[in-house]
Amino acid sequence: MEVLLYCFAALACAFVVQIGIVRLTKPANHASVILGVFGFFSIASIVSFFVFSHGSGDVAAHWTDTVRLALLLASLSLAYIAVYSAIEDDSPSMAMVKMAWKNGPKGCGEVDFALVMDDALFLDQRIEAMVRDRWIVRTNGGAKLTPLGRFWAELFRRSQILLGMDEGG
């Protein structure tokens, strides 16, 4: 439990600092800021955990807990970086979900998607993946967001607002 608490505390601190830096400095390369901040907080957390946490006194268990913390921090930090990149750069799936969301209940046609995406094979794969994941449903040559798709569209939109990003990245 201590490993989990250290991890969440480190990630929460890194997230707050990263938002502050991005909003105050408006860096051209957000990825380097995220890597720097999350890297710093991860290393600081691992070192402080190893130095200050004594657990049961079992040295082997202490080392394993430290390794667990390092792996958990690395995986969650990298997952956040991947999600941030998708939000920042308007990944193809996100662009399609946002387009359908902007069109409201009427949805939009595959022709509209094709205007945004120039690779038909890739477009078909994306649409099939979004149907399979229940983000959209097909309608007479078009698509509409499902409740799950609306959830993701709203989450992406709110994330962009929270992270201080302009519409479209």
pLDDT tens for 34-85 read 888 888 988 998 888 888 876 656 666 678 888 888 999 988 888 888 777 7
pLDDT in tens, 107-159: 777 777 666 666 555 667 777 878 888 888 888 877 888 898 888 888 878 87
pTM: predicted TM-score of the whole model, two decimal places: 0.54
Would you list the domain boundaries of the chain? Answer: 2-89, 92-162
In this prediction, residue 134 carries a pLDDT of: 85
The distance from CA 137 to its chain's CA centroid, rounded to whole angstroms, is: 24
Edge-to-edge strand ranges of the sheet holding 108-109: 108-109, 142-145, 136-139
In this prediction, residue 169 carries a pLDDT of: 44
The distance from CA 14 to its chain's CA centroid, rounded to whole angstroms, is: 14
pLDDT in tens, 82-98: 777 766 655 666 777 77
pLDDT in tens, 10-20: 989 999 998 89
In this prediction, residue 56 carries a pLDDT of: 58
Residues 6+ apart with CB under 8 A from 39: 77
User: Domain 92-162 belongs to what architecture?
Assistant: Orthogonal Bundle (1.10)
